Amino acid sequence: MKSDSTTQRGRNPRGQGGRLREDIVAAAIGLLDTLGDDQALSMRAVAREIGSAATSVYLHFADRDALVLAALEQYHGDLVRAIDDAEAAADDPVGKLRARTHVLGAWAARHPGLYKVLHESTLNQRTAMPFTQELTDRTIAAIQRCMDAGLVPDDDAASVTLDLRAAVHGAVSMRLNQPDKPWPPLTDQIERFLVRLVGVAPAG
């Protein structure tokens, strides 16, 4: 969260260093979502957001890459939890798959800067991000449940997942990078992906 105060932050009481780290990561998340570029983030800017000295940031993160990774991992964890919550509210395997896919698209659209850093940044090209595999694995499992229930054609769930994720991420990325194009509603496009790429019955 961004702070409205620019006053110098006092030393954390003993045992509360973890709170400062949380504040640093939260500030980095906010700045990255605004900037949409990991290279534009500075440790000093993060320090200003939390009203602390840059040295305090370096006590917790050796460099910018380490901080950006921590921010992206938390952002991704929040996304996974939001998707899981939406999936849990649905009644059947196709409803659960539909819910999680629509949340993925909507979440990316609400956090365009973080999306770009997670998928299009120079850090993404230089550094492995193993935490992102969790979302892929859960989507594979969701599609496999649809296949096991006979609700979509039987196929290799991992390959279908790759096709679906490529389509959804491509749709989001094109909207972010070409915002002036007359794009159709993202929800409609995602529904077509689910029907054509996975084989679910059309909604309604």
What pLDDT is stored for residue 109 in this prediction?
81
Helix (H, G, I), strand (E, B) or coil at 23: helix
Domain definitions of the chain by residue range: 71-198
CA distance 96 to 100: 6
Convert the pLDDT of each residue in 152-189 to its tens digit.
Answer: 999 999 999 999 999 999 999 999 889 899 999 999 99
Confidence of residue 104 (pLDDT cuts 50, 70, 90): confident
Q: What is the mean pLDDT of residues 36-63?
A: 94
Helix (H, G, I), strand (E, B) or coil at 15: coil
CA distance 137 to 16: 35
Tokens standing for 156? 């290799």
Confidence of residue 17 (pLDDT cuts 50, 70, 90): low
Confidence of residue 8 (pLDDT cuts 50, 70, 90): very low
> Residue 44 pLDDT more than 90?
yes
What pLDDT is stored for residue 18 in this prediction?
78
- Cβ contact 131:92 at 8 Å: no
- Cβ contact 36:123 at 8 Å: no
CA distance 146 to 152: 6
Local structure of residue 1 (DSSP, 8 states): -
CA distance 63 to 81: 28
Convert the pLDDT of each residue in 106-131 to its tens digit.
Answer: 888 889 999 999 988 888 888 888 99
Confidence of residue 16 (pLDDT cuts 50, 70, 90): low
Q: Does domain 71-198 fall into CATH 1.10.357.10?
A: yes
